Structure 1
């Protein structure tokens, strides 16, 4: 509760400061002139003000208690829930806006309404003697004073909540390991804040001057009072229009660079690290934009390095796997290249091609779990040995599941597990058919089969490329996906039809 009590003391101090500045400094001119008005029954008016003041404080305290209830409840509980912490955090952020509503609502109405009603009552029974329109002047002055008080209170409260916000956020981190924040939620937009503040600063002194002048002319009995509101209204209209225009221009000059940065941030959130915010400003926003661009440039460079390291990691794993068998050296790399050839022909995007490449490099990772006597056997495999080989897609999936972070490997699992499925449903390990087979698995199946047929084995030589392509073409729709198989076949014949083409170079140029 210590931090909460300290927070309340700051709010009370700010309330007093705002009241003094608004009432004494801004309302001083009106009050000093009003004291010279020919008013009878000052003692009764003091009674009116005293009762109205009590009414105002009662209503304002009740409203304030309701506004801080979620915050106070957080400090009263020995073990607050994470929802208690989050609700209190949001409510603290709302306090500056709520302070404005409190002052323009219970504060103003709690004072003005009883004061007006009691004054009219005392005038009716003869305890107060003053013209009725003075009540309108007093009510107008109260609205202006309350408006300036609310403006001051908003910005003072905005500063007062900072330590408490930090404390509540640290409580969430300490109790639940969760850093509480608004996560991009906007309580009060910068545009609205600047527009209302600039408008208030520009118009309130003008209203005070017009009101004080009205009272002064009434006290002195000047003949100018007859025409006063004609030119005063003109001044007010021009003053309001100028303040509105200035507030709009000021808010726009702030909103534009913020909008520029928000747009660039959204691009970064979607993974675009090549985006740069436009540096079109000569104030502090220039420094902010430059810092943002340098940060994104650094992230982009780091991402490129990470991608290179990750690609090396996958290539190294594939090379280590292929090194077990000198006859299949380079198999994983070639399958990846053939798969990318098919993927590009199918119009896959950059991200899908990247996943395809990584999946193809690791498609046989499960063979790590197959013993050498089976994997490296010179002759044909027995049925039992072939059953062991057939386990390598599922085993490869299980191996990749053990690699952290899990979410990085998850997109590779379908392609690794399904690269031996057949389009007619007679493959393994799951017997999937048609488009039920994951897309990457269907692509890798074509590439893997082609390289297996054209690679040398201890017990046979690799077949010619044309024959392997013919087998792929004949197996469309049965063993392989007809669409991806045809893309690969077409790529082969396009290479063959080139002038001075050498089909044996197809493997190297894939």
Structure 2
């Protein structure tokens, strides 16, 4: 609650100083330096300003209390709900906008309406010797001062609310494990901030001078003729138009590098680490763009290192597995090469081919969990031993599922888990059939079978190339996928002829 109290005190301090400066400072100085009053009139006008200010401060505090109620409710709870955290987070982001509305509403009308009423009564009862025309000019001046005050309060409140926003983020992450984020549709437009700020900053001196000049001329020459009004209005329109156009150009100048940086960040987020933003700027945006491009190069370098580490991991694991049995040395690498040929002929995209190779390299990794007395046995396996062997696809998939990040391993799991399924549904571990067997599993099954048949074993010599292809031909549609098997047979026959 201490942080909120500090926030509330800072807001009240900003508001009291800003209101005092706007009402008594700008407004008072404008009145007492532009017009000539007797001491009696000075006392009367000061009293009117003071009474109107009290009314304004009272009404303003009422609205301030209403606008900060959500903060008090949030900080009164030890562990606020996620819904309340989201509500107060959005409220805090838009609190500066509420500050502007509070000043332009209760502030402006809470001051102007009582002041106009009291001043009109004072003129009517001859406590003030002023024309009613001045009330009209004073009303325009009040609107102008309130607008300028609102812009200043907007930026002061934006700064004051930042510690609250950080505290809400930290508490929500700690209490609920959620990082809050403002939806893009709820952002406060930079264009609006720049345009309104520049408009008031650019036109405030001009309009204030015009009002003061109007009062002075009225005192000197009485009512201003229509030709003066036409001229004054023309000058004001030119000044305001220039401020609006200048704000538009300023925003466009800022918007372009922001859009380019946003586009670059989107490219990086979607996986394109080569994204680069051209440095075409000579202001602070040049530093941001250089930093972004440096970040992109660092990500690209890290991705390349990670890729090399992953490739090295796959190759090392395959070599380690093959080293357990000297008779199967190189088996995983050969299966990976055969699988790549089949994948290329089947028209798999490049990225999928890379994943297929990794899956083929590790297709037998589950044999790590099979005892040597079974895996290296030269005699025929018993039924119990064969059942143990049949567990290696599941063991392999479970091993790879533990490797982080899981998303990098996920595409490889079907090839490892299902490379012993049969097309007719009599394989293992899940007796999948036909195209329900993932394509990596169907491809590796063909490649694995061919290499197993043509490699030497302790209990038999490897088959000839022709005999292995004949067995594959006979097993099309029963043991192996007919289409993929035929692609492999045609390729291997063509290779043997050439």
Q: Normalising by the residue count of structure 1, what TM-score does the alignment of the two structures yield? A: 0.87
Which position in structure 1 is the counterpart of 2:399? 399
Instruction: Give the match for residue 507 of structure 1.
Output: none
Distance 2:205 2:493 in 1: 84
Counterpart CA distance in 2 for 1:18 and 1:104 is 13
Deviation at 1:261, TM superposition (A): 0.6
Contact 1:434/1:481 (<8 A) preserved? yes
The worse-fitting range, judged by mean Cα deviation, of 228-237 and 459-468 is 459-468
- Relative distance call for 1:248 and 1:474 in structure 2 (3 A) is farther
Give the alignment of 1:236-251 within 5 angstroms. Answer: 236-251=236-251
Equivalent residues of 2:422, 2:428 under 8 A apart:
yes
CA distance in 2, matches of 1:349, 1:139: 72
Contact 2:35/2:216 (CA < 8 Å) preserved in 1? no
Residues 359 and 216 of structure 1, relative CA distance in 2, 3 Å threshold: same
Please give the alpha-carbon distance, in whole angstroms, between the structure 1 residues aligned to 2:197 and 2:340: 59
Q: Which runs of 5+ in 1 are unaligned?
A: 502-510
Is the contact between residue 37 and residue 218 of structure 1 (CA under 8 Å) also seen in structure 2?
no
Counterpart of 1:464 in structure 2 is 464
2:289 paired with 1:305: no
| Corresponding residue number in structure 1 for 2:76 | 76
Work out the CA distance in 2 between the residues paired with 1:22 and 1:487.
85
Deviations 1:249-298 (A, max 9, x none): 11111111111111111111111111111111111111111111111101
Shift of 1:34: 5.8
**Mapped contact 1:29–1:212 kept (Cα < 8 A):** no
CA distance in 2, matches of 1:257, 1:195: 18
Change (3 A) 1:117 1:436: farther
Aligned to 2:317: 317
Which residue pairs with 1:13 in the alignment?
13
Alpha carbons 2:35, 2:215 under 8 Å: kept: no
Match of 2:220 in 1: 220
Q: Name 1:98's counterpart in structure 2.
A: 98
Q: 1:66 to 1:455 in 2, by over 3 A?
A: farther
Aligned pairs for 1:34-433 within 5 A: 35-36=35-36, 49-50=49-50, 52-116=52-116, 131-176=131-176, 178=178, 180=180, 182=182, 187-221=187-221, 225-433=225-433
CA shift, 1:177, in A, is 5.3
Give the distance between the partners of 1:465 and 1:211, measured in 2 at CA. 101
* Distance in structure 2 (CA, Å) of the matches to 1:110 and 1:346: 78
Give the conservation status (yes or no) of the 8 Å contact 1:30–1:211. Answer: no
Rounded to whole Å, the distance in 2 between the matches of 1:158 and 1:399 is 52
The 3-state SS of whatever aligns with 1:367 is helix
Residue 366 of structure 1 aligns to a residue in which SS?
helix
CA RMSD of aligned residues (A): 3.1
Q: Is contact 2:82-2:176 (8 Å) kept?
A: yes
Aligned residues: 498
SS in 2 for 1:204: helix
**Matches of 2:191 and 2:155 in 1, distance apart?**
15
How far apart, CA to CA, are the structure 2 residues paired with 1:380 and 1:441?
A: 26
Secondary structure in 1 matching 2:378: coil
The superposition leaves residues 282-326 of structure 1 with CA deviations (integer Å, 9 ceiling, x where unpaired) of 111111111111111011111111111111112211111111111
How far did 1:386 drift? 2.4
The separation in 1 between residues aligned to 2:248 and 2:330, in whole angstroms, is: 66
Cα shift readout 1:338-377 (whole Å, capped 9, x = no counterpart) = 2223333334344433332222222112212222232222
Deviation at 1:201, TM superposition (A): 1.5
Contact conserved, 1:30 with 1:215, CA < 8 A, in 2? no
Distance 2:33 2:494 in 1: 97
SS in structure 1 of the partner of residue 293 of structure 2 = helix
Contact kept? 2:92, 2:161, Cα under 8 Å: yes
